[in-house]
């Protein structure tokens, strides 16, 4: 079974691509994350966990979801992390997670997709996103072949800098950088409530139709990029930037 988390659609795309190639089921963890609930899942097919890379690691909310959920049946776990560039030493945390859950770690596949972190980077230029998604397809097909053949994914090379990124920099980003206070709306807000329904952590509530952010945020960019009138900004960092959603799922 393919189990996924996605903020702006890249990981959903990869999960559904794999589900199609493997003739298996893809399950979105959205409702479980939102309710802070554990899942009880059963599958004789290998578990394939698909998510974005956050600060060179699997997103903490998704790791926590895996940690607290029950997975009956197959003991094989493959991980596919979509990323804007690279996954650093994410493999280390994933092997620990597998040991904790009694899974046999079958490998990590980093898949470069359009970078959605608009707080730090610009959105992909027109056409660039489609190019990256097309370039990812052979990788995903090869991943499906390996899963079907019960082969491990290839090893990801990890150097000292990768360990630094996935270690102290990851720690620092969660502690000092992933904040909600800078989120605000402009006068363009039409009070549609979509941002609140899109948040996988249920971190947004509406007051007189306008969003108010709580402090349970993982910077997934779903609210900022999903607003139909681009009324959400993050401080000055996102001003004037195009928004990004995986073009396959864009409204
Ligand atoms: C909070 C945050 C942190 C990120 N950190 C990394 C990173 O460390 N390395 C990387 O290559 N991409 C990073 N990205 C880019 C995303 O992993 C990438 O765009 C991913 O495909 C988004 O998936 P989604 O559309 O399923 O949410 C980050 C994005 C966000 C929002
Ligand atoms: S999605 Fe945009 S327009 Fe709709 S309530 Fe949220 S900020 Fe306002
Ligand atoms: S508040 Fe926005 S950025 Fe934060 S988790 Fe919710 S949707 Fe993602």
119-163 confidence digits (pLDDT tens): 999 999 889 999 999 999 999 999 999 999 999 999 999 999 999
**Which residues approach ligand 2 with their CB closer than 6 A?**
185, 189-195, 211, 227, 229, 231-232
* pTM of structure: 0.98
Predicted confidence at residue 165, as pLDDT, reads 98
Predicted confidence at residue 126, as pLDDT, reads 81
Domains along the chain with CATH numbers: 2-172 (3.40.50.360), 180-234 (3.30.70.20)
Cβ atoms 232, 224 nearer than 8 A: yes
The torsion region of residue 74 among left (phi > 0), alpha (psi -120 to 50) and beta comes to beta
Cβ atoms 166, 92 nearer than 8 A: yes
Q: Which helix (H) or strand (E) holds 80?
A: strand 76-83
**CA nearest to 43, candidates 30, 27, 62:** 27
Q: Is the pLDDT of residue 250 over 80?
A: no
The neighbour count for residue 159, using CB atoms within 10 Å, is 10
**Which residues approach ligand 3 with their CB closer than 6 A?**
7, 198-199, 201, 203-204, 213, 217-223
Which residue's CA is the nearest one to ligand 3's atom 5?
217
Predicted confidence at residue 222, as pLDDT, reads 98
Q: Is the pLDDT of residue 251 over 80?
A: no
Work out the mean pLDDT of the chain and round it to a whole number: 97
């Amino acid at each position: 079974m393919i189990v996924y988390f996605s903020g702006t659609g890249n990981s959903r795309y990869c999960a559904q691509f794999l589900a199609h190639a493997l003739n298996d089921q893809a399950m979105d963890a959205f409702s479980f994350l939102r309710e802070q609930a554990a899942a009880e899942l059963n599958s004789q097919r290998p578990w394939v966990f698909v998510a974005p890379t956050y600060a060179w690691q699997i997103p903490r909310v998704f790791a926590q979801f895996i940690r607290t959920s029950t997975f009956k049946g197959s003991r094989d776990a493959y991980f596919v992390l979509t990323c804007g560039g690279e996954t650093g030493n994410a493999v280390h945390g994933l092997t620990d997670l597998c040991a904790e859950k009694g899974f046999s770690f079958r490998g990590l596949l980093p898949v470069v997709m359009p970078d959605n972190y608009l707080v730090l980077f610009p959105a992909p230029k027109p056409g660039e996103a489609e190019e990256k998604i097309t370039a990812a397809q052979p990788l995903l097909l090869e991943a499906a072949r390996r899963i079907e053949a019960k082969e491990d994914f290839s090893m990801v090379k990890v150097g000292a800098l990768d360990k630094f990124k996935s270690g102290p920099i990851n720690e620092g980003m969660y502690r000092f950088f992933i904040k909600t206070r800078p989120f605000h709306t402009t006068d363009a807000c039409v009070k549609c409530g979509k941002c609140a329904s899109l948040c996988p952590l249920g971190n947004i509530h509406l007051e007189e139709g306008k969003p108010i952010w709580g402090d349970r945020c993982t910077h997934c960019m779903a609210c900022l990029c999903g607003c139909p009138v681009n009324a959400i900004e993050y401080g000055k960092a996102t001003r004037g930037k195009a928004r990004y959603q995986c073009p396959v799922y864009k409204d």
